[in-house]
Amino acid sequence: MDSPLSPAPLPAESAMLDALGFGLYRLDAEGRCTYANPAALQMLGYAADEVLGRNMHELIHHSHPDGSPFPQSACPLLATRLTGRAVRLSNEVLWRKDGSFFTAEYSAWPLIEGGELAGSVVTMVDTARQGSASDRLALQVTVSRMLAGSAEIEEVLPRLLAAVGGSLGFQAGFFWAVNHRERQLAPEASWVAPGLDAQALVGATMDLTLDRGEDLAGRAWEEGEIIKSLDLGDAGRRKAAQAAGFVAAMAVPARLGRRVLGVIELYARAAPEGGDDLLDSANAIGQQVGQYLRRRRAEAALRDREEEFRAFAEKLPQLTWIADASGAINWFNKRWYDYTGGSFSQMEGWGWWSLHHPDHAARAEESYRAAIEAGTVWEDTFPLRGQDGRYRWFLSRAVPIPDEDGRVTRWFGTSTDITAQRQAEARALAAERRLRFALQVARIGSWTWDFDREVLEADEGFRTLFDLPAAEGELPAAEFLARIHPEDAPHVAATFEQARREQGEFDLEFRLGSEGGEVRWAVARGSVERRPFGRGLYALGITWDVTERRRREEDLAAAKMAAEEANLAKSQFIANMSHELRTPLSAIIGYAELLEEEAEDLGEAAAHMAEDLGKIEVSARHLLSLINGVLDLSKIEAGKMEVEVEAFDVAPLVDEVCATVEGLMAKKDNSFTAEVAPDLGAMQSDPVKLRQCLFNLLSNAAKFTENGRVTLTATRRGDWLEFRVDDTGIGMTPEQQEKLFQRFTQADVSTTRRFGGTGLGLALTKAFAEMMGGTIAVDSAEGEGTSFTLTLPADVRHPVGPDTAAAEPGGEAGPTDRVLVIDDDPHMRDLLTRFLGRDGLAVAAAANGEDGLALAREIAPSAIILDVMMPRMDGWAVLSALKADPQLAEIPVIMVSMIRETGLAYSLGAADYLTKPVDWQRLKETVDRHRLPSAVPSGLALVVESDAPTRDELGRLLTGEGWDVTEAANASAAQLRIAERRPDLILVNLDLPAVEGFALLGRLRRSPDLRAIPVIALTEGGLPPEERARLRDQVRQVIQPGEDSVDELLDELKRIAAERAGTKKEGRD
């Protein structure tokens, strides 16, 4: 062979070297093999051409028994060829071609040629074949080193099989792992000695799984002992083993105590030597492998758990980290890096302390190291710097993780961002300080009441208020309750009990102190709640002293009561004064009208007298309107003014108002135009108040306009009506407009002096408009004129049906028609008598209720005109007596009153209702409704009126209408008149003193004989709907004050007479 190697030995030398029983090879100066005898080649499993020229250290001496590298520079054999000194090594591991190793006695001698070191001669003896105990021990040491390494189990197992199998004389092997969950054996590694063809056996084995007790390895698993046998249960494996020339097999259980973790299965072509020593070594190796498997499996499980743990830690919202036993951190989750912006190299170990705030770092580190040293849980709060350079507060916590022996092996830590929580706590603390300060300044005490333990926790303010001990801590609830005034204690206890039962709020005001001592007032407010997790109920409340407030309230209540009494007295005074003024005014107006008519009858001779009488009437009516305005305001203030809803056509009402104000317009040479839309239609509202509003606006325009123009425009817009009054008068400034609708106020003092007036008209107009659900607006410029706009709903949303239509008036009364006037006012009686007599009615008059009743029974009038306010027996009493008497009950009664109590009049049976001063035309119409036709006498009318002029006037009116009239000044007189002769009609003034008018109505209604007499109620005021409903069954008509009251009365009298005539005719038929 051509090679730079040293010459091979001579034939004689070669024969001698080949005969040696130990292995020998020669190396040149570079460590390359130049010769190897057959013994060496057999030991190593190589052919000659596979070793010649090779570096023998790299070929057979490259690794330690555990598989770790054995560098050439560390090999002692190198010293021979480099230094020329001989070297001998015992128990050295040499590696065969098949990957197995054996223990050898290894020696090297220097080779000198020509006086120079030319290489070395190496000898080796296979000590494993000597089967000594030391060799077995060396094998165990080798296995221990191999298993102690850090290589993965997949790498270790094939080398393990080679080392054990090669050392014990086997040429192939398998490692079976026990799967305890599946209760099966599965092969994990295989080894076949170099140069041996056993691939069929490997293929048949590596795809196989064995049950416990099955085949060679399964029996070793089941018995836990070494099994030596070639009796393979699997036919394929058995055939493959035989084909490979194997004649012996051994299965060694890898045990941990009695638990088998795996099986080492070995095959040999010749029965291995060693006997019991072999078995002992195999058992020892099996135990070593068992311990190795347990450790590796534990490590694998630990790695799996750690991976799961880290995956879990990555999902946590906190910054998460892991430290070793010393506290040095070796892992951070991603959130840590996201927040800090640092890298692991910057943070690992103790580097993370660089993120701590300088003011807190030393304290936090000291507490951390103390916990690490003690092995206890660490918890602390401190700020950490983020990647933006700002610090945020974190709650950090580290928990020790011990091993099976209780030793701490590592720490798991979290850092939770509590910045928002600390800020909220700071705000809450500041708010609590402010609250405490506010409670202290306001002298409010706070407390909680534990209902389960019946104790209170209260602050200083509460204890001071209840005069409780100032010491902090709990106090019995009984002490708190004992401070409550005895009269209030039951209510307080009941309220707390209700709140406790319903878990609701409470709001209490009670007294503190004893019955004989100083009394203070306190308020307690709060709620009852359930503690978290259902741990019982408690009350949370605040309490403060309200003694001063209660005193002020009592003083205010007393002042309010005094004011109300004064206001009531004022209202009563106004009402009384109005009544006292309206009674003579009624007579003045009545006599003036009567004299005017008589003056007209006298012709030219009394023209000047008629003019003067007209002035008297105008002045009296003006004075009456002022009194009515004051009284209306008084009623509005007292809340007694009501809207009387009726259905009426608007256009006729507007025309009527226009006709009324034409004289006022002409007085100052003003042109007046009314523009009334044809679609005004009807309203459901109060016609009296609407008429008053329009009159006030137009008269106001006429007053402040001279030689100008006044226009009334009436339009309908859907469900609303608009009345606009424009004038070209003096106008107003914005300042004057601001106080335009104030009561008793005009634009300024000069206006009052120039134009007169009380300043009530517009105030009443505004009040009436609002009562009817509408508005009034003004638009004015000084010197340019004024525009008022009154807007009202067509339906006030509370419609009341119109009154039942009265009978149509008949013809003129016959001489036998008689009307009874009962009124205590002689002027009123006279006026009624004259007015009714002028219409052909016979009138009987009574000055009181008793006389009126007696006269009604005596003359059986066709109708009765009854004054309400009469002394002793008022109009109500007379009306009640009339309706209670069967003979008088059917006589229509017309009530006449100065006050608005028409509801009572109707409820007592009045046929109608009039208010003073009596509108004579309306009275005439009312009486006409109760009179007979001309062919039949009207009958007897009883006038019950306490005011003599009014009674006289009513009597004359009835007489003129053909009625016989009997009068009564009060209810008692009326009853006497009714007893004397049953009237056919009764006029009752509801304003009789001591509510005699209503009493008279009640008597009439209760009497079966008198219930049918038509009763006309006269009243001073208007009639609310509910009072009209009450009177509807008891009176025929209610005559209220107004321009048409006389006509209305006469019409009603005529209707009553007509009804009587019809009744008598039916009787004859």
Q: What is the pLDDT of residue 1041?
A: 55
DSSP type of residue 353: G
Instruction: Give me the residues of the chain with pLDDT under 50, please.
Output: 1-7, 131, 749, 752-753, 755-756, 798-816, 932-936, 1043, 1065-1069
3-state secondary structure of 281: helix
Residue 1059: per-residue pLDDT: 66
For the CA atoms of the chain, what is the radius of gyration? 66
Contact assessment for residue 265 and residue 300, using Cβ atoms and an 8 Å cutoff: no
Token pair recorded at residue 193: 């000695």
Domain segments of the chain as ranges: 11-129, 134-298, 316-417, 425-545, 553-638, 646-793, 818-1066
The string of pLDDT tens digits covering residues 423-481 is 888 888 888 788 778 777 778 888 888 988 888 888 888 888 888 877 667 888 888 88
Architecture of domain 11-129: 2-Layer Sandwich (3.30)
pLDDT for 1023 equals 54
Asked if 645 contacts 686 with a C-beta cutoff of 8 angstroms, the reply is: yes
State the Cα–Cα distance between residues 835 and 949, nearest whole angstrom: 12
Task: Give domain 425-545's CATH architecture.
Answer: 2-Layer Sandwich (3.30)
Q: Which of 795, 812, 971 shows the shortest CA–CA distance to 893?
A: 971
Instruction: Specify the pLDDT at position 621.
Output: 66
Residue 934 has a pLDDT of: 44
Write down the residue that tokens 């306010």 correspond to.
869
Helices (H), strands (E): how many in the chain? 35, 40
Residue range 134-298, CATH number: 3.30.450.40
Give yes or no for a cis peptide into 917 (omega within 30° of 0): yes
Fold matches, 11-129 and 316-417: yes
pLDDT of residue 712: 95
Predicted local confidence at residue 370, as pLDDT: 94
Q: What is the pLDDT of residue 3?
A: 39
Give pLDDT tens digits for 368-377. Answer: 999 999 999 9
Residue 256: burial class (beta carbons within 10 Å; 0-12, 13-18, 19+): middle
Which CATH code fits 316-417? 3.30.450.20
Cα distance between residue 669 and residue 693, in whole Å: 23
CATH number of 646-793: 3.30.565.10
Ramachandran region, residue 699 (left: φ > 0; alpha: ψ -120 to 50; beta: rest): alpha
CATH number for the region 553-638 comes to 1.10.287
